[in-house]
Chain A
Amino acid sequence: MGNTNPIAKILKNSALLLYALFALFPLFWMLLISFKHDREMFNTIFVFNPTLENYRVLFSTGEYIGYFMNNVFVSVGAVLLSLAVGVPAAYALARFDFRGKEDLAFTFLSFRFAPEMLVILPLFLIYQKIGLYDTAFGLIWVFQLISLPFIIWILRGYFEDISPEIEHAARVDGYSWWRVFLKINMPLIKPGMVAAALLSFIFVWNNFTFTLLLAGQGVVTTTVASLKYISSDTVHYGQMAAAVTIAALPEVLLALLIQKHLVRGLSMGAVKG
């Protein structure tokens, strides 16, 4: 390994740098565009006269704030529901043995396999029939297809890593089952919970298919709202970019704040011992 080390290091770093540029450039470009006037959109690249016009238009009506809050409401709601349902489910899969257990676990995971387009037509008809079409609750419920598998799959690994003996010890110490769950289990799965919740949040926040086709005018999220900027004669790239930048802000901020937990959370569940 001797003298190839500095070269390998340079190569590694340049590869990472290249990938970082590749991944971050669209975001950077989007930020750039959001400060450009429509008239300067196609004839300038990096040098232009920056303007806040796009942002001003965005907030001039209260509409966009409304879309943003809708997004917050359904995303947070979906993740909370997934946690409420998924944590006990993960515990059951980790601790108990029952007929069809692995099949059930695989079914949960399989929710992520199917492309959303595949299920959208039957879902549309069902939602219309039971009146969940264009409701926040309807969206929260369908979002479980996205967020639940993460919670269950990641937390199951975490619960399996906690030796049952620890729970037994706490019972013998004088704690009821419920207190054991709160005092012992929950703190130990916290990194996993944070990571899974954040991942779920990101996917649900960005969701386009379900919000487009299962919600109409009543619940409009930021993803769907960006369609508005495609009008009959032109595409208002500047305003679209501004809208998307604002929309992306929460997830970027959350991820940055919790990145330490995220890495720990995603890797720890996997390594045994």
Chain B
Amino acid sequence: MADIALKQVTKKFKKNTVLSGVSIDIKDKEFFVIFGPAGAGKTTLLNLIAGILVPEEGVITINGNVINSLEPEHRNVAMVFENYALYPHLTVFENIASPLRSPKYRQPEGKIRDEVERVAKILRIDWLLQRLPSELSNGQRQRVSLGRALVRNPEVFLMDEPLTHLDAKLRHQMRAEFKEMQANLNTTTIYVTHDYLEALSLADRIAVLNQGRIEQIGTPDEIYYRPATEFVAEAFGEPEINILTADLVSKDGSMHLNLLGDSDHFAVPGRVRQALEEHGGDTVRAGFRPKDIKYNFTGDSSMLRATVYSFEPLGAKAILTVQADGQLIRLIAAADLDAKPDQPIYLKFNMEEAIFFDSGTGRFIARAGEKGVRSVG
């Protein structure tokens, strides 16, 4: 039961700054996801909270107590490692029982057996208890690693990309199981991943990390509908959001975008216009998610003309890439669509779902509607 806080934490390895000025507040019992691409510093962050690494600057607290100088064995955290870190010379049973036999968290043997078997049953590895880690599949090892954490009753669970090394099908399955487990955990959990689907589906809140800095902290809705930067917008969503540079023009008393050489069809919604005017400047970066762009092979004057560039069927859906004004735009299409390269196609952009970014800094300015607005209280 713990609040975890990091204040201005910086971590350097020799001359390399891996984390810079990271501040995060995690509430008790929250399922908090740290999301970022490879090399962003996610594992380093987790290691700092676990006590495996010590920060150069900044303060880490659990329940308000500064723990910077506390050794890992005294922090009462449980960690699931990316590569499982199972003890190769111990059986599955002994691996899971290991924390309960340590000087710090020792339990009597009878209790140990009960706890290990209980956890093994939940994770469906109770039939593997006498095997060695080398005799297990990846998925089984991952569950043992999870089991070793779940026998504990820690202040916080730390999970470092637990699903990353599983094949796609198993990953989807485990994600669903995680969601169920999460509801029963009743303990603060910090979960690290580079998979945005895991982040969006499991998190109470997400911290987006990029090159050692926090880009945004928010609920999945806030992250998805109001990304703080272009990086965040591009990281969440497959296919990637289309962010295009556009000029702001005044036409017939309303504001329009001059997008892809066309200034007739992109009327900026009212509230957004206010925000854009306040922000100043006459160019903006407009982001359209692939699902918010409609297409048709026969168009009318209200649609933008483009040509088909490529078509990738992916089973249930397909990615249609079109070219307009020298730029490539990604759309989602039906998998059985008959689209040929250089075929003319007409697009309609949903301005109500468009996200606007500053053309210099890439930071969020506005979007229409109330989606993703943080609810008070």
Contact = CB atoms under 8 A, between A and B. Distances in A.
Contacts of A168: 47, 50, 52, 72, 79, 81, 85
B88 interface: yes
DSSP class of A's interface residues: helix, strand, loop or mixed? helix
A172 B87 contact: no
A170 B72 CA distance: 9
Contacts of B89: 187-188
B102 A175 contact: yes
Interface string B47-78: 10011100000000000000000011101011
A176 B71 contact: yes
Interface in A170-229: 170-176, 179, 184, 187-188
Contacts, number: 65
B103 A175 contact: yes
Interface string A130-156: 000000000000000000000000000
Interface in B79-113: 79, 81-83, 85-89, 98-99, 102-105
Contacts of A165: 81-83, 85
B105 A174 contact: yes
Interface residues of B, number: 26
Contacts of A169: 79, 81, 85-87, 148
Contacts of B82: 165
A28 B71 CA distance: 60
**Is the interface on chain A under 10, 10 to 19, 20 to 34, or 35 or more residues?**
10 to 19
B81 A170 contact: no
A163 B99 CA distance: 19
B79 A172 contact: yes
Nearest to B50: A172
Q: Which of A170, A172, A188 has the most CB of B within 10 A?
A: A172
A57 B85 CA distance: 61
A171 B71 contact: yes
A18 interface: no
A163 B83 contact: yes
Q: Which of B51, B79, B85 has the most CB of A within 10 A?
A: B85
A15 interface: no
Contact of B87 (A166, A174, A176): A166
B88 A173 contact: no
Contacts of B87: 166, 169-170, 184
Contact of B98 (A163, A173, A188): A173
Q: Which of B72, B81, B82, B98 has the most CB of A within 10 A?
A: B72
Contacts of B102: 173-175, 179
Q: Which of B73, B75, B77, B78 has the most CB of A within 10 A?
A: B73
A75 to B, nearest CB: 30
B98 A170 contact: yes
A174 B83 contact: no
A171 B81 contact: no
A173 B79 CA distance: 8
B98 A171 contact: no
B73 A171 contact: yes
A169 B85 CA distance: 6
A187 B78 CA distance: 24
Given A163-B85, A165-B85, A188-B89, A176 B103 contact: yes
Contacts of B99: 172-174
B26 to A, nearest CB: 18
B48 to A, nearest CB: 12
Contacts of A187: 89
A174 B99 CA distance: 6
A156 to B, nearest CB: 19
A170 B87 CA distance: 9
A168 B66 CA distance: 21
A191 to B, nearest CB: 11
Contacts of B50: 168, 172
A175 B83 CA distance: 20
A177 B89 CA distance: 18
Contacts of B103: 174-176, 179
Nearest to A97: B14
A68 to B, nearest CB: 37
Interface of B: 47, 50-52, 71-73, 75, 77-79, 81-83, 85-89, 98-99, 102-105, 148
Interface of A: 163, 165-166, 168-176, 179, 184, 187-188
28 contacts: A163-B83, A165-B81, A165-B82, A165-B83, A166-B85, A166-B88, A168-B47, A168-B50, A168-B79, A169-B79, A169-B81, A169-B85, A169-B87, A169-B148, A170-B98, A171-B73, A172-B78, A172-B99, A173-B98, A173-B102, A174-B99, A174-B102, A174-B105, A175-B102, A175-B104, A176-B103, A184-B87, A187-B89
4 smallest beta-carbon distances between A and B, as pairs? A174-B102, A174-B104, A169-B85, A165-B85
